[in-house]
Amino acid sequence: MTSLSRLPLFPLHTVLYPGGRLPLRIFEQRYIEMTKACLRDDSPFGVCRIVSGNEVLPTGTTAGGSAPEFATMGTLARIETWDMPEQGILHVGAIGETRFEVRSHTVERGGLIVGDVATVTPEPHVHFDPQWKPLADLLDVLAARVSAHRFPPERAYDDASWVGYRLCEMLPLPLSAKQELLEMNDAEARLASLRSLLAQQGVV
């Protein structure tokens, strides 16, 4: 872990992994302002999985109201592309970077959640062992079925972390399972868990 830093947080009903693609349609003022600040400062925001609560403030809720409950481990997201096809709506394409752990957070007056976070040291490169080839073959099939904005153009099938992360985000797993896989710090243990889950379904 590194020293603490302040980071705007964007709780979502999804799990973002390092290197993953995240398309967003942003219309709430708090997140439009966050996006503008991130673009201006070339800085990331943090994505955390919502455990309980809503992504959007319910009608009649004050902006400074209670935040949803969210997982303490998330992933930095850096904006790569953006567009405003209509007034007040931003289409953003972001990519996952380093994982982080939220130590504390506050809700600003406008409703934006800001956290004190510590980034997690990236996993070391682990060469992809031939025993995991069925998982790589499955990933190749899945990648061919999704649009380009959902899958990174750069492929790293020789990297155990990369293959594991891509399978985690593409497989229809419960969000709780996706979160557990994000929080693992061992690339081959993550692949072993994925193989076990897929074997239970008769996929591999």
The region of weakest confidence among 99-103, 143-147, 173-177, 181-185 is 143-147
What tens digit of pLDDT does each residue of 34-93 get? 999 999 999 999 999 999 988 887 655 555 556 899 999 999 999 999 998 888 899 999
Q: Which amino acid is at 16?
A: L
Residues 78-104: b if buried by 16+ CB within 10 A, e if exposed:
ebeebeeeeeeebebebbbbebbbbee
Q: Which domains does the chain have, with CATH numbers?
A: 5-119 (2.30.130.40), 130-200 (1.10.4060.10)
List of residues 6+ apart from 104 with CB closer than 8 A: 115, 116
Q: Torsions phi, psi of 100, nearest 5?
A: -145, 165
- H/E segment holding residue 190: helix 187-200
Predicted TM-score of the model (pTM): 0.91
